[in-house]
Structures are given as structure tokens and as C-alpha cells.
Structure 1
Amino acid sequence: MIRLILALFALMMPLKAMAAVDIQVVTSPGGITAWLVEERSIPFVAMDIRFNGGANEDAPEKRGATYLMMGLLEEGAGERNNQEYAEAAEALATVIEFDANSDTVSVSLQFLTENRDASVNLLRDALLDPTFDPVAVERVREQVLAGLAADARDPEEIAGKTLAGLAFPGHPYGTPIEGSPETVAALSIDDLRQAHARALTRDRVVVGVTGDISAEELGPLLDHLLGDLPTFDGVPVGRADYRLGGGITVVDFPSPQSVVLFGHEGIAFDDPDYFPAALLNQVLGGGGFASRLMTEVREKRGLTYGIGTYLASNDLAEQFLGQFSSSNDKTAEAIALVREEWARMAAEGMTEAELDTAKTYMTGAYPLRFDGNSRIASILAGMQTLGLSPDYIATRNDRVDAVTLDDIKRVAARLLRSDDLHFVVVGQPNDLESGSF
């Protein structure tokens, strides 16, 4: 019941006017910065903590160390074993979650005001003093290996890993953050401790906080929780060069249909043309049943049940990607149609009606992201990771509305390159083989 109450609290922050969200930039006595939205109406606090670097920092032969390490932080810390740690969190109605991706590792903490100190101390133990108990290490390692084995039989996972490996050879983006069966099996406890010291560093941390806490209370809390972490002493991983040209790669997979993942280079979030690009994506393939690709590929010709596109703007590389599935006898036709629509949008842009509809959706959907304390804390941390200023929330929709048809046509010609699209096809498609167009 206590956990249910905590979950409800996480969703209870009222949807105030977004422009009125009051973000306080808090700097602790020890120099740690956090963004805070104070909300005193319920006795609950949500924190989102992100450490830049992430699984990108794994050495090739140690790939998967960061991912495995983050999965072990709640498997015993301080003087508690894994069961005692879980029981302590349950007794406090505290939710602690750990995650890893390529660019960051993240920690989510949710607690009741009355349990603030005990909850923070519980997380502090995991961040500073994980036990890496050998029994727990082997159990979680086996879970990771089982996941990798399942991925090897999943056509969508095969497509994603194939495209990444072709696009970013020699860079961490080119290999799964979970590692390979060989690298994961070889990881030692010392490797995990080194990954821990490398990934969780106080000089590469951003923090978002929402709820029942003041700036004066938050500062000392940050120092207590994070101040004793080490600083990063390595060399950050450099940008990833996109090395994949246009063409088709077929991966044989016994199935009556093919999974197709496609794309080319994208656009950075901080590029002045990002919002025109986002609107282009919305009309071309990001708008569900209203998008051009859905209309042409599914509605008019029945070549797929669904198709979508998205902008993937990671820290060290950008891609414009899309995906669909089609029966093996229709895959080649669907690919040809995607290239045609890509080229048509590049040459013509979009209509004023399409632009207006896309703007209405993007501006109207934005407030819905602010639907609870935990989501807001996550947004605050994400904004800092992207290098945004606190006024971004108030000005974002104005930037969307400012995009003109001329902007769309210019950015479409710049961004959309049908000849550069590469299609990874996992299946047994008719009349398709690997090669250039």
C-alpha cells in the first residue's frame, strides 16, 4: 500500500502553465549544481541524477562493464546484502532505479519527505560502497548473458546492432552497451569496480529535483549524497564518424516477413535547424497515421502494418532513422517507396496545411510531458545534459511556431538524402540482396 501511495504521489504534481514552471538553479556549498522545481503541496520528492560518459567509457575488451555494474548497485551496498537493501527500500517506501545507456548512467530516487535522510543514505551507500558480492555478480551476469542470447534471436535487435556496427565501426556506438557474450563472461569484479569509479563522478553529474524540498535543504543534501564521489581522470570518448553510405544490407533470418531499419546521418539537437527538422520528421514519418510514409506505404498500398521515423540525436553522433516490417514479397516495393517519399519531401518540402498540423501537434503535446514529479525531474536533468538554459520550457513552443515553409524547404534539401539511405533488412526478402542502389 505504501508503494502505491508513493506511485500516486509521483503523478500528482498539477499541470501548471509550463511557462510558469519556476526552475531554481541550486549550487551546493561543495559546488554541485542541481535544478529544482519546488512543489510543497505533497510530501514527496523525486530526483533524477545523470552522470555523463556512460557506457561509452568501456574499453572494447571490457564492453558491458558499465551496464553490468549499474545492474549490481542495488544488489548489496554498505553493510546490507541484496535482500537487506531491498527490504530497507521497501520499509521506507523509497524507489531507487539505476540505468545505463551509451552517453550517461542515471539514477532515479523517489522518497517521502518524512524518510528523506534515510532514503538519501540508502542511495549514498549504493553510489559509494557497492559490495559487488560474487554470488550477485554471477547471478546478474547470467541475466545479461540470457538477454544477449535472446537478442541474437530477435530480428529487430539484429537490425539495430547491424546498422550500428556498419555506421560506427571502431566506436562504442557500433557495439551494444550490454557487451558481447565473450566480453561479459570475462568481466572481473575488479573490472566492475573500475567501471564504477569511472562512471559515477561528481564533476560530470547533472541533477533534477522536484517536490517537497527547498533550495536551502537541497544544497547540503547534494554534498552528502554526491560530494565524496571521485572526479573523472580519463579521456572522454570523441565524436563518432558516420561511415555508412546508401545501399542495402540483407541479414538472412528465417521468417515470412522482413524487419527493415533504415536511415542516414541526422542533425544535432543544438543545430539552429533542429526544429524545422523535427517538423519534417513529424510530417514524413513521425506523425503516426497522419504521416506521409504511413499514408503511402500502409494506407494506399498495404505494404506494412506500420512505419515510423525519428531523429536520434545522441551526444557524439546524429542519425535520422526509420523502421517497418513487411512480408518478404513486398519488402523491395516498400523500400523503393520510402526512397521516393524521402526524395519528394527533399525536393518539395511540405504544404502549409501539413506544417500547421505538425506545429499544432508538437506544441500541444509538449505540456503533456510534465505529468508528474518524476517526469519533471527527468526533464530537468535532460535539459542540463543537452546544455539548455532554464528558460527553454517557456520558449520551446515559440521556436516551433517560428518555423516557416521556407525553413522547411531549406532544411529538407539539406537533411533528406534519399541516395544516402541505408536499409538493413533482416529476413528473407524476395528480389533483394546486399549492395549499393
Structure 2
Amino acid sequence: MKTLFFISCLVFSMPSFSAKYGANKIQTLKWNDLEVVWIQDERFPTYALSVYFADGALSDSAGEKGMTSAMFNLLTSGTRRYSQKDISDNLEFYGASYGPNTTHEYSTYSVGGLVKDSIPTMKKICHLFQDATFPKKEISKEKKRALEGIKNMVDSHGALARRAFRQISLEGSPYGYPVSGKMKDVRGITQNRLSKKLKYFNDEVKKRIYIAGPKEVLNLERVIAEDCKWTGKGSYVRKTEYEPIKSSKKAQIVLVTVPKANQAQVRIGRFLNRGEYEKRELLSLASEFLGGGFTSKLMRELRVKRGLTYTVGAFAAGQKGYGRAGISTFTKNETIGELLEVTKSTIDQIVAGEFPDHEFERSRGSLSGSYPFRFEVTSAYLSQLQFLDHIGAPYDELYQFQERVNKMTREQISQVVGDIFGWEKQTVVILGSPKLAKTLKKKFGKVRIVSYKNFL
């Protein structure tokens, strides 16, 4: 059900992103005091709809971590009228795509399909939100699946490294704990807790509807009001206050030990406080230049020149109340020291401006030129508008991205890489064999050693 939102062959001939790609098609409506953002798209008989809830996993109190994620995931487990199989068969009959996404700050539920089936599909989705009973049998099945998934991370070192890196690098903030909880939290999922969580999101949390499709999709107004029973009365918006996390003055080295590890998973990064992640275009370019593809600096230094890894990536981005920066790669146990040394020297060289103009220009052109293709799928375009509303940024930011990137200089990149990725500020997490401790201590001195079990 992937609807092309852009015509790729015209991208580079357009005078501006905003002129042709929907800026003049966005309308803001009110449905029973509920905010609605509609992108009128008459080209295809399809629609995409997303419901934004202004709260997420941060609403989970101590002892109920992971409950928000579980509630949204179990909405299709059954109601008083329909079993899980009935619900699945009905939505598949209409060829609908549907599902939730839960973050710490907000949650969404997205639906898509053919316009002619939009009313019966949304009636079913609304029925789930209003009448989900979370049958104990289905809860038990879901808990078993979730527990097995977490246990299996012991054999999926990449996933375990991501989980450990988030918790370690975001220590001291409200954002480090897994959205879906840990094993102890999964065991605490109950029918009563799920029902209370659903009632909270239905009645108290602020919502906003995002829709893309032809004019017929506006017929969903009545369904949202009468079947979902959502209005503008829900007004709660998650706001989080915390003490700024101070950057370290020396890189913090953490070894997460895991059995039977013949490779070392490496994650390098840090928490970004307010004031560090708001220049989103600049952070995107810095990430692209450092680790954004086969021609990035780290890829060329680590893989092409030395064969230390197969892949490496970098990111730096923010949400509403916090941001993160990270470098992700892996290597053989025997080359962990060299990989870290080359990563540090590559960052230092960029900060010192020791890179040719053509490398910078190539990364800048690649990021600018590929940007519109991120939104070929209508749902991706809706998600970006949703995100901009969430962080309180104007839609113009979306359409001015290319122009702003094209004006950036190599001096700006050196500065931001130093500010965000400077080695001494980083938390370096290595997930691998306990035997790596000796190598790391010899090279870096102080090494914190943690068992993988702390993250399950």
C-alpha cells in the first residue's frame, strides 16, 4: 500500500521542494474541537491516517514500565464482540495496514488502505479503542512472545548493544529505560493495568489526526466523533523537566560482557541537552559526513582503508525534550583497540578541518539531493509533519531543508562534529567477550564492566 508522494523523475528539475510537494495542499481543520491536519491528494484512491497522542512511555509509573507500549500492541487482542482472529480477518479483508508506534514522549496509531474501505476500517479501529478487553489468554501469549524476544537478545548482539547503549549513554535522564520495558516489567502486564492505560489515553491525553487522501476521507469525521468518541477535551501533553546532563571531560569506556562473543559491538555517543540538538539540518549533515554511507569519513577509514568492519553509521538528532548522538559499528575482538583509535583520530581530523573540499561537497550534495525521496511514501510525509508539530517547529523547516543544507560550510561541520562527537565527551560502549577487559584497560585505563543481564 505504498503510495508515491513524489514523482522521482522531476525532483531535480523543481525550483523548490515546497512549490510542488504539498505545502499548498495542507489544510488545518477542527472535528468536534479535535485538531485535524489534512493533505489533499487526489491522485490515488488511497488514504493514510495517523492519530497522534501527546504522551508516551514516560506515562508509565514505577512498577508499570512498558505498559503503554503493551496496551497499544494488544489493542487487537480482542473485544467483547470480536476475537483476535475476527479482528485480524476483518482488517485483512479490507487490505488495511495498521499499527502503533510508542516513544518516550508521544505515541501514534496509523491506518491506511483504499478510500472506499476507509469508513468500515476506521469503524473497526475505533471499536478497538473503545471496547478492547485484553483477554487474559492473549495477554499470556503476548507476554510469552515478549519474554522470548528479550531472552533471544543474548544471541542477537546488535540488538542487545543498542539496548545497553541507550540505557548507559542516557543515564541520569528520564529517557534511558526501554519503551517496551524489561523482563520484570513484561511479567507485570495485567488486564486491569492495560484497561486503565487505554482509558487514560482515550479520555485525558491530547490527540491530533493526520490524514492524506482525496476529499472523500473527510467523511471520516463522523466516524471519529461517533465511533472513536474522541474530542478536543483530552488536553494532557507530556512535559518533562530534568537537570541537564553534564558532558564528561574524558571518554567513558564501558564493557558489557556477553557469553560466546566472537565480535565486539561498538556504540559511541552521548545525551544531548536542550540547546544542543535544535540545529537539525546541521546535525543531519554532520552525521552524513561522519557516517552516512559508503563514502562517509568513518566508512572510508574503518572499512575501505583498513578492513576493520563491514559497516558503520552515525546519527545526531533530537526529540522535543532531549537528543542523542551515536556511532554504531562492530569489529573482531583482535582489532577493537585499532578500531577505537582510528575512530578517534578520524573525529579529531574533521574537527581540525583536515579533509578535502570534495569530500564535504559530496556529502552535502548527497544529503540535499536525497532528501525529497524520504517522503515518497505518504505515511512518511505525514510522520514528518507530525514530528514537527510535536517539537513545535514550523512546516517551513521541512521545505527549507535543502536550501539550508546547501548553504552550510566546512567550517560549520568541523565545529559541530567537535561539539557533538568530540571524543572526550563520549560514552563508549563495547559489547563483547569478558576477555576484552584486559585490552581495553591497557589502552584506556579505567573501564567500567557490566553484565548483559542488567539490560534484559
Task: Tell me which residue corresponds to 2:333.
Answer: 328
Q: Distance in 1 between matches of 2:50 and 2:237?
A: 24
Q: How far 1:204 sits from its partner (Å)?
A: 2.8
Q: How far 1:239 sits from its partner (Å)?
A: 4.4
1:22-101 mapped onto 2 (5 Å cutoff): 22-77=24-79, 79-101=81-103
- The 8 Å contact of residues 77 and 126 in structure 1, kept in 2 or not, is answered as yes
- The 8 Å contact of residues 51 and 209 in structure 2, kept in 1 or not, is answered as yes
- The 8 Å contact of residues 58 and 105 in structure 2, kept in 1 or not, is answered as yes
Q: Distance in 2 between matches of 1:100 and 1:252?
A: 29
What secondary structure sits across from 1:330 in the alignment? helix
1:375-390 mapped onto 2 (5 Å cutoff): 375-390=380-395
Which segments of 5 or more consecutive residues in structure 1 lack a partner in the other structure?
1-6
After superposition, the Cα gap between the structure-2 partners of 1:179 and 1:87, relative to the gap in structure 1 and judged at 3 Å, is same
The answer to whether 1:256 aligns with 2:259 is: no
- The 8 Å contact of residues 277 and 283 in structure 2, kept in 1 or not, is answered as no
The answer to whether 1:188 aligns with 2:180 is: no
After superposition, the Cα gap between the structure-2 partners of 1:269 and 1:13, relative to the gap in structure 1 and judged at 3 Å, is farther
Q: Deviations over 1:54-82 (max 9, x none)?
A: 11211131111112111111112352221
After superposition, the Cα gap between the structure-2 partners of 1:377 and 1:333, relative to the gap in structure 1 and judged at 3 Å, is same
TM-score with structure 2 setting the length: 0.85
Task: Tell me which residue corresponds to 1:296.
Answer: 301
Pairing partner for 2:351 from 334, 346, 350: 346
What secondary structure sits across from 2:76 in the alignment? coil
Task: Tell me which residue corresponds to 2:286.
Answer: 280
Which segments of 5 or more consecutive residues in structure 2 lack a partner in the other structure?
448-456
Q: Distance in 2 between matches of 1:391 and 1:318?
A: 21
After superposition, the Cα gap between the structure-2 partners of 1:76 and 1:435, relative to the gap in structure 1 and judged at 3 Å, is farther
What secondary structure sits across from 2:313 in the alignment? strand
What secondary structure sits across from 2:329 in the alignment? strand
After superposition, the Cα gap between the structure-2 partners of 1:397 and 1:240, relative to the gap in structure 1 and judged at 3 Å, is farther
After superposition, the Cα gap between the structure-2 partners of 1:350 and 1:207, relative to the gap in structure 1 and judged at 3 Å, is farther
Q: How far 1:330 sits from its partner (Å)?
A: 0.4
> When the two structures are aligned, how many residues end up with a matched partner?
428
Q: How far 1:168 sits from its partner (Å)?
A: 3.0
What secondary structure sits across from 2:28 in the alignment? strand
After superposition, the Cα gap between the structure-2 partners of 1:373 and 1:234, relative to the gap in structure 1 and judged at 3 Å, is closer
Q: How far 1:205 sits from its partner (Å)?
A: 2.5
Task: Tell me which residue corresponds to 1:319.
Answer: 324
Post-superposition, which runs of at least 4 consecutive aligned residues in structure 1 deviate over 6 A?
267-270
The answer to whether 1:238 aligns with 2:246 is: no
After superposition, the Cα gap between the structure-2 partners of 1:206 and 1:340, relative to the gap in structure 1 and judged at 3 Å, is farther
Task: Tell me which residue corresponds to 1:131.
Answer: 133
Q: Deviations over 1:59-112 (max 9, x none)?
A: 131111112111111112352221111122123332221232323222111132
TM-score with structure 1 setting the length: 0.88
After superposition, the Cα gap between the structure-2 partners of 1:96 and 1:274, relative to the gap in structure 1 and judged at 3 Å, is closer
Pairing partner for 2:3 from 2, 11, 14: 11
Task: Tell me which residue corresponds to 1:163.
Answer: 165
- The 8 Å contact of residues 267 and 313 in structure 1, kept in 2 or not, is answered as no
What secondary structure sits across from 1:62 in the alignment? coil
- Return the letter of the residue paired with 2:32: G
Q: Distance in 1 between matches of 2:236 and 2:199?
A: 10
Could you tell which deviates more after superposition, 365-374 or 159-168? 159-168
What secondary structure sits across from 2:265 in the alignment? strand
Task: Tell me which residue corresponds to 1:431.
Answer: 439
Q: Distance in 1 between matches of 2:148 and 2:94?
A: 32
Q: How far 1:328 sits from its partner (Å)?
A: 0.7
